[in-house]
Chains A and B, each alone.
Chain A
Amino acid sequence: MTPFAYHLARDPADALAALTAPGGNTPLGAASFLAGGTNLLDLMKENVARPMRLVDLNQLALARIEETPAGGLLLGALARNADTAYHPLVRSRYPLLSAAILAGASPQIRNMASNGGNLLQRTRCYYFYDTGTPCNKRSPGSGCAARGGLTRLHAILGASEHCIATHPSDMCVALAALEAVVHLRSARGERQLAFADFHRLPGDTPQHDNTMAADELITHIELPPARYAAHSAYLKLRDRASYAFALVSVAAALALDEGGRIVSARLALGGVAHKPWRQPEAEAVLAGKPPEAAHFAAAAAVLLAGARGESVNDFKIPMARRAIVRALEVAAAGTPGPACGEEER
């Protein structure tokens, strides 16, 4: 681990000033915000991240969860994942988000991890983590060791020749489906970014996971008014029942009319691409249709159009297709109650 300076920020302005203060950006690594630290500290110990200065955000007043005038919910960037998942308004209005968060990591990690940090967690690609191997995301231009290697966890959609990594978050898959909005702040002012535009595909610059500028801070995540509380499901397929990243995950949400037809649908996939994978065309397939397996399969086909495996991970394509259908079926039948052990903290 590289020696680093530490700054405890008083408020957002102070945090932003400390981030961009002289001496922060060096050839070894830029200054970095520290929130829950559940991913950053691991990366520092493995010499993958080598920030020269850590700006600690934990004193900032950004941990609240409150209703918006529009009828949505504003999630503070520093609210812990566990506090968010168990918040009564999140549970009742956005059970999809609650379920997705609780499908991730372990209770200990969820107790520490922040909402803003969840959006910024790095890929779990083995090669990204092992500094003894080339990786374009860790060391731009060095090559991609994953291609042709161990690709069980890797992308089947939207990958490039430079990077086939996946985004590991569960929470972000639900946020994508729920069309959340990310609130950003910098010295230049504030702006809002639709969730679909927040993460990006790797292209030839896989070192960039998202479209945030280097001098920006996530302050809030805004959820639009709830439409899907009654019919949503988060289905995560993984190697073990807890503390494993998704092979494939699906966030499915349906709004049904009184006759039981689908008014609108939202679908996002995790574990398959460099960002939560969503295609409005796939959702459009379902609009106006009855919630039936044939239509679900048609939506899956559109969402997975162009999917391509790296041979080792070819199984993800049928797995994703089946998972989409299953998740939509579960959602149509009514949002499931909390899983065993998730009723209480």
Chain B
Amino acid sequence: MNDLIQDLQSPVADAGTGFVRVGMPVSRVDGRAKVTGEARYAAEHPAHDLAYGVVVGSTIARGSIAGFRLREALAVPGVVEIITHENRPRMRSFDLFYKDMTAPAGAPFRPLYDGEIHFSGQPVALVVAETFEAARYAASLVAVDYLPQQHETNLMAHLARSHKPKPLKAGFSPPPDERGDAEAALLAAPVRIEAEYYSGVEHHNPLELFASTVIRGEDGHLTIYDKTQSSQNSRWYVSRVFGLGKDKVTVRNPYVGGAFGSGLRPQYQLPLAVMAALQLRRSVRVVLTRQQMFSLGHRPETLQRIKLGADHDGRLRAIVHEAVAETSRYEDYVEVVVNWSGQLYACDNVKLLYRLVALDQSSPMDMRAPGAAHGVHALEVAMDELAWALRLDPLELRLRNYAEQDQMKGLPFSSKALRDCYEQGARRFGWARRPLAPRSMRAGSELVGWGMATGTWDAMQMFARAGAVLHADGRLVVSSAATDIGTGTYTAMCTLAADALGLRLEQVMFQLGDSTLPVAPIEGGSSHVATVGSAVAGVCEKLRKRLFRMARRLDNSPFAKARFDEVEFAGGGLRLRRQPSVAMSVEEVMAAAGEARLEEKYLMLPKVLKQKQYLRATHSAVFCEVRVDEAFGTVRVTRVVSAVAAGRIISAKTARSQVSGAVVWGISQALHEETHADHRLGRFMNHNLAEYHVTVNADVGDIDVIFVDEDDRIVSAIGAKGVGEIGIVGVAAAVCNAIFHATGRRVRSTPMTPEKVMAPEGDVSVSAAL
């Protein structure tokens, strides 16, 4: 059952890599495949008799389709079919069948199901042709007649009709009830601040375009290479939407070129490609354009209001945090925006509110640290405002309000090394030399500012299965239907398995990215290492025990009198801890026992009862230096130190990459990223990488990542918490706070583009010292 899937590409470390231990900075086992182009992504798998589908998107945001004019498009040589809601194959009719594993409450969007238009860019037709070029040309000739209705896409114009969201979404908790009396405590507090914080829409822009290649077997079986964060979620969705049995569909995603949350839900190219394959009874590929990826989903535009009240010594008396975000009209997309404010600091009076406004947009979707990236941002900027109001060092304010336990449920933290993050980060940054007052530091024509912020994210664990086969030649194949969206799953799992059995890294292959592999959760929420890693550790532990029992039973075994805890697995086999010269390699044990292969399976179930007694979270402290030319509002981030407490670090190099990459994105969130909608058209307009600005190399200075010691066996059996999201949380706030320290001006809207940062008219000397 756990045999190697032969035609599934799985990377193996280079020969000569040798023995590794958990926590070592191991280079990616998939690195060579990726940089040589050997790794195939969803759009790159060849198929016999492949047809190409190109999507036509709607140009209106709300209304319905009156009809199509397809004559010209159908006349293009090579065009096979144009699929619309009028001629699509059969699809299931109940909403339930369209709900993937991470769907929020509501009725999921159904591509080409009917003629209703729910958002601009919605797919209305799929042109299928013998070549991509023919399909693309014909798609430009498809004419659609619409019956438009008045659309509403502007959150700020419709705040008044916000509603309380339906909270049904995996991983979401609605804001807890008020504790204490926040408004009364606020009025009584001697020092108060109150402000609104706005964050614009952001779109996921992984380098790999969304794509699905559906390869139809002679028996009608569909093997689908899909860009997704879960092969099993996509498989489940296709089976249910089209009524195809589990054995009729296999979904694969051995390599994913980034996703950032956009691959948590099946995207519309998947059902469109399946539709065409079913209708035409042949293999079909659909690849979205960069422009079309701006119609998938986004980090929702959000307006927040925060009120903080404190004593003169800085102790928090009251926190009020309210957020209003947008969603689509068909689903209540929810994320945790405000709850962090009830958990990050000690405070007896906390009121949290979270509401949605339904608009004619596609449903927002999770984007790196969903909710926290902007929710904690607002809190951490507000804390900086309070610190200045108190004339108190911003780090000292955090320390005075350090939460020793979670006050929402009265639970202890499973582990919390945030104090160490503050201390080590501050020391590395040189925070102690920071002058308190803004506008204290200058370099040439630029003002210099130092800012800091706290970050936090959940430490979650799901359930997972893993399988393992150990071969007589010492090769180990471990498998689980996990995903590696570039985060380092392959490397971390290979490292865990090689360490567990004392093997060289190149002896271990980890197979992921196939829906027929043992069950794994969607790769998201920074839970993959804690979840799949614990399953891998579990299956390896079973192999270790079996190998030990085999070795002990051998004639004249050197381990005949040893107990399991007296042996260790290292150097390619097992040996006595106290007398390492007493050793047998894995190959020797297998040969002596006459075994060709050992197979084990393991089901890892989280210890829920234990876990529920603790609040489980990762933490970080981010310190940042900016240089601001206030005549023009241009900001350069010259230095960032991010100190992270995320449990035991399994794969130090890929974990560091995760955090430094997230810091870059935090800079991007702070200064650059925003999708601009023209609300008259109900349409996002800067839908390409020239005009949707992400931070480039030239914008990034030094990034220093510190992993603070933590080892949390409550979160996971391997001590890990997960590092995907935590790296971005707080970065934009640290940038914002540094801009304040540089200029004395507070920018409460992200991204902080030049016109928001530049000094007002008459308030600046252009002739700053040159």
Contacts and interface: CB of A to CB of B under 8 A. Distances in A.
B770 A130 contact: no
A127 interface: yes
A46 B290 CA distance: 11
Contacts of B291: 46
A134 to B, nearest CB: 10
Nearest to A247: B754
A47 B631 CA distance: 40
A243 B696 contact: yes
B636 A241 contact: yes
A240 B681 contact: no
Interface stretch (A111-119, A224-232, A261-269, A318-326): A318-326
Contacts of A152: 676, 755
Interface stretch (B366-374, B715-723, B759-767): B759-767
Contacts of A239: 671-672, 693, 753-754
Contacts of B693: 239-240, 244
A60 interface: no
Given A133-B681, A133-B683, A247-B754, A1 B137 contact: yes
Contacts of B445: 326
B686 A126 contact: yes
B205 interface: no
A21 interface: no
Contacts, number: 105
B709 to A, nearest CB: 36
A323 B629 CA distance: 11
A242 interface: yes
B695 A149 contact: no
Interface in A20-46: 46
A315 B758 CA distance: 9
A319 B632 contact: yes
A126 B691 contact: yes
Given A126-B685, A129-B688, A145-B678, A315 B698 contact: no
Contacts of A245: 690
A319 B632 CA distance: 6
B766 A242 contact: no
Given A319-B755, A329-B770, A242 B698 contact: yes
Interface in A218-252: 237, 239-245, 247
A240 B767 CA distance: 23
A237 B680 contact: no
Interface string A299-325: 000000000000000010011001101
A185 to B, nearest CB: 32
Given A133-B681, A149-B678, A319-B755, A329 B697 contact: no
B632 A293 contact: no
Interface string B112-149: 00000000100000000000010011001000000000
B766 A148 contact: no
Interface in A76-128: 124, 126-127
B699 interface: yes
A333 interface: yes
Contact of B681 (A145, A318, A341): A145
A326 B678 contact: no
B690 A240 contact: no
Interface string A125-157: 011011011000000000001001110100000
Nearest to B677: A150
Main secondary structure of the interface of A (DSSP, over half): loop
B761 A240 contact: no
B407 interface: no
Contacts of A46: 291
Nearest to B133: A1
A229 to B, nearest CB: 19
B634 A237 contact: yes
B133 A240 contact: no
A241 B698 contact: yes
A245 B695 CA distance: 14
Interface in B614-663: 631-634, 636
Contacts of B59: 132-133
A293 B698 CA distance: 30
Contact of B761 (A1, A129, A242, A318): A318
Given A145-B678, A150-B685, A239-B672, A325 B696 contact: no
A192 interface: no
Contacts of A130: 683, 685, 687
Given A132-B59, A239-B693, A242-B697, A150 B678 contact: yes
A293 B767 contact: yes
Contact of A132 (B631, B683, B767): B683
B636 A127 contact: no
Nearest to B634: A237
A189 interface: no
Contacts of A237: 632, 634, 754
Nearest to B688: A129
Given A239-B672, A323-B632, A1 B136 contact: yes
A59 interface: no
Contacts of A318: 758, 761
Contacts of B676: 126, 150, 152
A240 B695 contact: yes
A3 interface: yes
Nearest to B631: A322
Contacts of B136: 1
Contacts of B120: 132
A242 B120 CA distance: 30
A242 B696 contact: yes
Contacts of B755: 152, 247, 315, 319
The residue among B137, B291, B685, B699 with the most chain A CB atoms within 10 A of its own CB is B685
B681 A319 contact: no
A191 B671 CA distance: 47
Contacts of B681: 132-133, 145, 149
A2 B688 contact: no
The residue among A126, A247, A330 with the most chain B CB atoms within 10 A of its own CB is A126
A245 B137 CA distance: 30
Nearest to B291: A46
Interface in B697-713: 697-699
A322 B763 CA distance: 12
Interface in B25-66: 59
A153 to B, nearest CB: 8
A339 to B, nearest CB: 10
Given A3-B137, A145-B681, A293 B634 contact: no
A142 B699 CA distance: 39
Contacts of B690: 124, 243, 245
A110 B696 CA distance: 16
A240 B699 contact: yes
Given A127-B685, A315-B758, A240 B631 contact: no
Contacts of A240: 671-672, 693, 695-696, 698-699
B303 to A, nearest CB: 19
A65 B169 CA distance: 64
A237 B445 CA distance: 14
17 contacts: A3-B133, A130-B683, A130-B687, A132-B681, A133-B683, A148-B680, A150-B686, A239-B671, A239-B753, A241-B696, A242-B699, A243-B690, A247-B755, A315-B758, A326-B445, A326-B767, A330-B770
Given A132-B681, A239-B754, A242-B696, 12 more contacts: A2-B140, A3-B137, A148-B680, A149-B678, A239-B671, A240-B699, A243-B696, A245-B690, A247-B755, A319-B754, A319-B758, A325-B766
What 6 pairs between A and B have smallest CB-CB spacing? A241-B698, A315-B755, A132-B59, A126-B685, A242-B698, A322-B766
Interface of A: 1-3, 46-47, 124, 126-127, 129-130, 132-133, 145, 148-150, 152, 237, 239-245, 247, 293, 315, 318-319, 322-323, 325-326, 329-330, 333, 341
Interface of B: 59, 120, 133, 136-137, 140, 291, 445, 631-634, 636, 671-672, 676, 678, 680-681, 683, 685-688, 690-691, 693, 695-699, 753-755, 758, 761, 764, 766-767, 770
